[in-house]
Homo-oligomer: A and B are copies of this chain.
Amino acid sequence: MTRRELLRMIGVTAGSAVMYQAMSSLGFAAESNFKKPIRLQGAPRGASVLVLGAGIAGMVAAYELRAAGYKVQLLEYNARAGGRNWSIHGGDSYTELGGFTQRCQFDAGLYINPGPWRLPYHHQGILHYCTLLGVPLEPFVQVNNNAYVHSSKAFGGKPQRFRHVHADYNGHVAELLAKVTQSHKLDGWVTKEDQEKLLMSLRTTGALDKNYAYVRSRTSSERRGYDIDPGGSLDPLAVPSEPIALGDLLDSDLWAMINAGDDYDMQTTLFQPVGGMGQIGKAFARELGTLIRYNAKVIDIHQDASGVTVTYEDTTKPDSRFSARADWCVNTIPLSVLSQIPMNVGTPMADAIAAVPYAAAIKVGLQFKRRFWEEDEQIYGGITYTDLPITNIGYPSTGFFSRGKGVLLGAYIWGMNATEFTAISPAERVKTAVAYGSQIHPQYAKEFDNGVAMAWHRSPFTLGCFGLWTDEARQKHYNNLCQIDGRIVLAGEHASYIPAWQEGAVTSSLNAISRLHQKAIATGAKA
């Protein structure tokens, strides 16, 4: 069974949350080894570089190569910089393949990040550029104990508070292990002394009572919350809450939704740029200024003994032809698009480019007339997980407690459901997300205002969300993808071990340009 088949099977049998867990543990979500800022120096006199794609990888390359002394040009297909680094605000317009144009109706200051939305603390590469470019960051709330985990097949479809499922799972596991320990069933495996320590620890970590039981009590309610919370003066006395029974909890599969915040790339402290993820792309674009040529659709890449010539169309002048030439080329065009552009590289790189399919993903942003999730349900930021196709409801980590309208992430869909959502119109995607979401928040029906839906496979600029590597494909093709071919080197999240994350783009770019720089120096000054 291939890994992809395995994933598909997990997805089918156990729902999206399990699928996501599996994706994480199979290495689709990963980290960075960025240690310190790069300082390339001493570009050969007059040397030039053509960078293709003004996403994060391309702009990092342009920024650093310019600093090293290269003459840099950057071609971007889209009318804006950033690539998948993007926030959609009210007034923005976007036309997808198939011709649907969406004009975002969000109120001023509200936005959705259709691409990346969080920055892990250890993604020091992208964080470095945020600091360097003056992009202010604020915490991104990943785990919210008062948000929900939801299965349409458990608890009559009633969403459960994260804190209930999290506390109860930990409590029951601790109780079971304590019981086993006390019945001497760990003898031989764990020393007597460690067993005593273990028991002590289980009482603490599991919120067990003095008899090592996880039961309705003040102790367990100090984790999961009370039926009636403690109050002041002569308020009614606190009433502890009843834990969910172990069997019900296991059957619900909701345990698969409680560990995202433990994952290395979703642990505290996470960040987001103030004003939307797109602020990073905008800051880079400001910094690079006229280096970037927008609306430049690359149609041919040709290298020869002394340089690289790129032919492109100015998309504002259909069928126009322009060309740009430089000594070297850093090519960050997504493989999904690049595989359709003629480029004279060797078979190893060409095969590698063709070997990586792109993951489908959908994000839907929904504006509501009020922040009912805060006002009615005391959910401030964080994510609700569900087995419905919408998978996630993400609550904004900014503007807390504000009055007026609010925008949440109404769906974050991948896998087979994403293919279905890609096939329907943006308006239908929004409508479907609202319909599913109402099963969790009945307020949707009354409070829904408007929405936007981004299907990455219909983006002309990326034709998918991110490069989906299998272990087999990596073994066969990854190094070939990353080697410099003549005067061309590729970079981007697809050329990294951190796929789908901006950090992959940064580290990929830095490694690629460092090697290209060495080669340029070795090759010497321009003839």
Chain A residues proximal to chain B, CB less than 8 Å: 18, 21, 24-25, 27, 29-34, 121-122, 124, 127, 130-131, 137-139, 141, 143-146, 163, 166-167, 169-170, 173-174, 176-177, 179-180, 183, 185-186, 189-191, 194, 197-198, 201-202, 204-205, 207, 218-219, 221-226, 228-238, 246-247, 250-251, 255-256, 258-259, 262-265, 267-269, 271, 378, 380-382, 397, 400-401, 479, 482-483, 491, 495-498, 503-512, 515
Contacts and interface: CB of A to CB of B under 8 A. Distances in A.
Contacts of A169: 201, 205
A258 B221 CA distance: 18
A222 B378 contact: no
B262 A166 contact: yes
B229 A25 contact: no
Given A137-B400, A264-B225, A401-B131, A238 B497 contact: yes
B263 A222 contact: yes
A497 B264 contact: no
A163 B264 contact: yes
Contact of A204 (B121, B255, B265): B255
B397 A497 contact: no
A32 B222 CA distance: 12
Given A205-B259, A401-B137, A495-B232, A144 B198 contact: no
B223 A262 contact: yes
A233 B495 contact: yes
Nearest to A130: B401
Copy tally for this chain in the complex stands at 2
A232 B264 contact: no
23 contacts: A18-B204, A121-B144, A121-B380, A122-B146, A122-B225, A138-B139, A141-B268, A173-B173, A173-B202, A176-B190, A180-B186, A191-B247, A204-B255, A222-B263, A223-B262, A223-B263, A232-B503, A232-B506, A232-B507, A233-B511, A233-B512, A233-B515, A237-B497
A163 B232 contact: no
Contacts of A130: 401
A201 B253 CA distance: 8
A269 B144 CA distance: 6
A196 B287 CA distance: 56
A139 B137 contact: no
Contact of A497 (B223, B231, B265, B509): B231
A479 B234 contact: yes
Most buried by B among A204, A255, A491: A204
A231 B263 contact: no
B506 A31 contact: no
A401 B274 CA distance: 13
Given A33-B228, A267-B163, A400-B137, A222 B25 contact: yes
A32 B231 contact: yes
B264 A233 contact: no
Contacts of A483: 234
A201 B250 contact: yes
B146 A229 contact: no
Given A177-B180, A180-B185, A185-B185, A381 B269 contact: yes
A222 to B, nearest CB: 5
A111 B334 CA distance: 47
Contacts of A32: 229-232
Given A145-B267, A222-B24, A400-B137, A509 B204 contact: no
Nearest to A509: B232
B256 A400 contact: no
A137 B397 CA distance: 11
Given A246-B194, A269-B382, A380-B269, A234 B511 contact: yes
Contact of A269 (B141, B190, B202, B225): B141
Closest 8 CB pairs of A and B: A232-B507, A232-B508, A230-B497, A233-B511, A232-B496, A33-B231, A197-B250, A145-B267
B31 A264 contact: no
A383 to B, nearest CB: 11
Contacts of A510: 232
B33 A381 contact: no
A240 to B, nearest CB: 11
B127 A401 contact: yes
A204 to B, nearest CB: 5
A145 B268 contact: yes
B268 A33 contact: no
Contacts of A223: 262-264
Contacts of A378: 121-122, 124
